[in-house]
Amino acid sequence: MDRRHFLHSGAAAVLGAVAGCQPGADAAHIAGGFTGIDAARGHALRDALASRQPWPAPARTQHTGVLIAGGGVAGLAAARALRLHGVDDFALLELEDSAGGNSRGATVGGMACPLGAHYLPVPGDDAPEVQDLLEELGLRQRVAGRWQVDERHLCHSPQERLFFQGEWQEGLLPVQGVGAATLAQYQRFAALVAQWQAAGRWTIPVSNMAFSHVQQALAAITFIAYLERNGLDDAHLRWYLDYCCRDDYGAGIATVSAWAGIHYFASRHGFHAPGASGAEHGEREGLLTWPEGNAWLTRRLAAPLGARLHTGQVVQRIARTRQGVEVDALNTATGTLQRWQARQVVVALPVFVAARVVENAPDFLRQAAAQTVYAPWLVANIHIQHSLHDRPGAPPSWDNVLYDTRSTAGAGASTGTDTVAHGGLGYVDASHQALQALPGATVLTHYRALGDAVQAAAGGGAMDAAACALAGRRLLQATPWAAWRDQILANLSLAHPDLAAKTTRIDITRYGHAMAIPVPNITGQIGHLRTLDVRKQLSKTEHYPARPVPLCGPMAFAHSDWAGYSVFEEAFASGHAAGRVAARALGG
């Protein structure tokens, strides 16, 4: 199947499946719509660049020492690094009306809820930048010589559960009623992860890692290929691993690299097979979370910026000059073009955007943009006015996931409807941290990863990852809100049959390029930082490890894209390092 036929037939099949979902009339009372992202702004940049029309003359020129382009986690971390180095002469330009990128929040029915990232694992010693941030925000402190995390911000128990075989079970790994063969494969995979952990370092951020040849070999194949080579074909194990990859990377085991699949476990909590030592503690330990998700963090990072934060700014051009850098940005409030002249610039934009707006983009930037595949995501915030009827088993938890027997990864062909359902990652309860004495109204935040969600609808088998992602973006944009509403309700009603009747509103946020997918690379390349001459581009202090910073003259680049996958620690460390480089260039 060629790329063109795949894009049209696959997306069309899934779109038809979504549009045909029930409950339809039962949901007519539910209000809502698309919110959170102003896609027209990003598309305006794309269309303007495609037209090749000359930019209008800037209405105003402003000067600053450092200009930060992009107000996601990396851009906010760069701004904090500048402040810590005593540099106040900077400005930050952000596309949306609030900073935070994929870590922003909102309110639905008067209740706080996330628009994207909703938790942060307690960072280890490989991420001292994030550790220091937590200390600054009062989230951790030394007590009797040992670090302690404020338990009020740790995810409360019960933490997670799985709807499996008609009832809820504790944890997300299917265990109730599975056979001995399944348990044996759990133990075999746990042993493999333990072997990888013993064989080398697996760190977050990955810029701390010196990748071994065997790790690079893993990066050259898909995760499902690795499982097949090791005889791991159990449907339940594959479903769980597929869920984990979609949750962290936006695509499943047939799309992400084997390195990414192992890294998910080896870099943090390992893999605990039932009955093994430590298995009773579950797979996710030490998570920080808030009703609004990681927006709790980004709002505190943005607060000190004051007038230096400029929102509603569409960066259209970044160019080197004799004096430094010139940046043109469209002010969406006034409709005028503004020019910024700065001595240094931190380009904290996704690499595909950076490659478009940087004039005479360096080769390493163009190559990174060409190699990066982005997963589209959907986030639906569902306001319910009364507590839901619950199926038997484990009690309501923070993270609630549904096992879909119709779309088990690697277990056979799926229909278009199954494929869309397969993209669903359950929901988190925004009021879980409140520890309500009596359950009541709340917001359920449902996540749907669409990095390869239309793949099976086009016939299954190996498909080009970029084509899958593009088809997912087309599906995301073409599907009406009401069709998404009905499909989400139909999916979650398997566990909560009264969901539609108790829902008052569903706000949906669409991310066309939510996160970089760590797809295999035939060369074994992991991320994009190893392609740089890092010896000349290291950001290091006595307290922090050396981080490779992509540089081009007075331009320093920062984003989780450079690591090849998207997590808070990668973005924050990247932005922090770039901010230090800019500060030193100004003498800070």
What CATH number should be reported for the domain holding residue 274? 3.90.660
Q: Give yes or no for a contact between 498 and 389, defined as CB atoms under 8 angstroms apart.
A: yes
Residue 580 and residue 452 share a domain:
no
Residue-level pLDDT at 419 = 38
What single-letter DSSP state applies at residue 172?
A: S
Q: In the chain, how many domains are there?
A: 2
Residue 169 and residue 95 share a domain:
no
Residue 541 and residue 409 share a domain:
no
**Neighbour-count burial for 75-93, b at 16+ CB within 10 Å, e otherwise:** bbbbbbbbbebebeebbbb
Q: Is residue 89 part of a domain?
A: yes
Q: Give yes or no for a contact between 377 and 450, defined as CB atoms under 8 angstroms apart.
A: yes
Q: Is the dihedral of CA 275, 118, 404, 246 positive or negative?
A: negative
- For 330, the domain range is 41-103+294-369+533-585
Residue 331 and residue 432 share a domain:
no
Q: Is residue 254 part of a domain?
A: yes
Q: Is residue 145 part of a domain?
A: no
Residue 233 and residue 90 share a domain:
no
* CATH number (domain holding residue 547): 3.50.50.60
Residue 365 and residue 378 share a domain:
no
Q: Which of 489, 517, 545 is at the close of a domain? A: 517
DSSP-based three-state secondary structure for 400: strand
Q: Is residue 131 part of a domain?
A: no
Q: What is the pTM of this model?
A: 0.92
Residue 416 and residue 282 share a domain:
yes
Residue 507 and residue 422 share a domain:
yes
Work out the burial of residue 393: count CB atoms within 10 Å of its CB; fewer than 13 is exposed, 13-18 middle, 19 or more buried.
middle
Q: Is residue 141 part of a domain?
A: no
Alpha-helix runs per DSSP H in 403-538: 416-422, 465-478, 481-492, 499-502
Residue 360 and residue 337 share a domain:
yes
Q: Is residue 140 part of a domain?
A: no
Extended beta strands in 190-349, E state: 287-288, 309-310, 313-320, 325-331, 336-347
Residue 239 and residue 175 share a domain:
yes
Q: Which of 463, 483, 517 is at the close of a domain? A: 517
What Å distances lie between residue 194 and 172, 173, 187, 547, CA to CA? 20, 18, 10, 27
Q: Is residue 126 part of a domain?
A: no
Residue 457 and residue 335 share a domain:
no
Residue-level pLDDT at 407 = 44
Instruction: Report phi then psi at 209, rounded to 5.
Output: -90, 140
**At 324, which amino acid appears?**
G
Residue-level pLDDT at 18 = 54
Q: Which of 517, 547, 569 is at the close of a domain? A: 517
Residue-level pLDDT at 162 = 96
Residue-level pLDDT at 227 = 98
Per-residue pLDDT of the chain (588 residues; tens, 9 = 90+): 454 554 455 555 555 555 555 556 588 899 999 998 887 877 776 777 666 677 778 888 999 999 999 999 999 999 999 999 999 999 999 999 999 999 999 999 999 999 999 999 999 999 999 999 999 999 999 888 788 999 999 999 999 999 999 999 999 999 999 999 999 999 999 999 999 999 888 999 998 677 889 999 999 999 999 999 999 999 999 999 999 999 999 999 999 999 999 999 999 889 999 976 554 444 456 899 999 999 999 999 999 999 999 999 999 999 999 999 999 999 999 999 999 999 999 999 999 999 999 999 999 999 999 999 999 999 999 999 999 988 899 999 999 999 975 444 443 333 333 434 456 899 999 999 887 666 789 999 999 999 887 764 554 555 688 998 999 999 999 999 999 999 999 999 999 999 999 999 999 999 999 999 999 999 989 998 866 655 456 666 668 888 889 999 999 999 999 999 999 999 999 999 999 999 999 986
Residue 180 and residue 49 share a domain:
no
Rounded CA separation 88/203 (Å): 33
Q: Is residue 580 part of a domain?
A: yes
Q: Give yes or no for a contact between 478 and 26, defined as CB atoms under 8 angstroms apart.
A: no
What Å distances lie between residue 481 and 24, 35, 289, 573, CA to CA? 12, 10, 28, 36
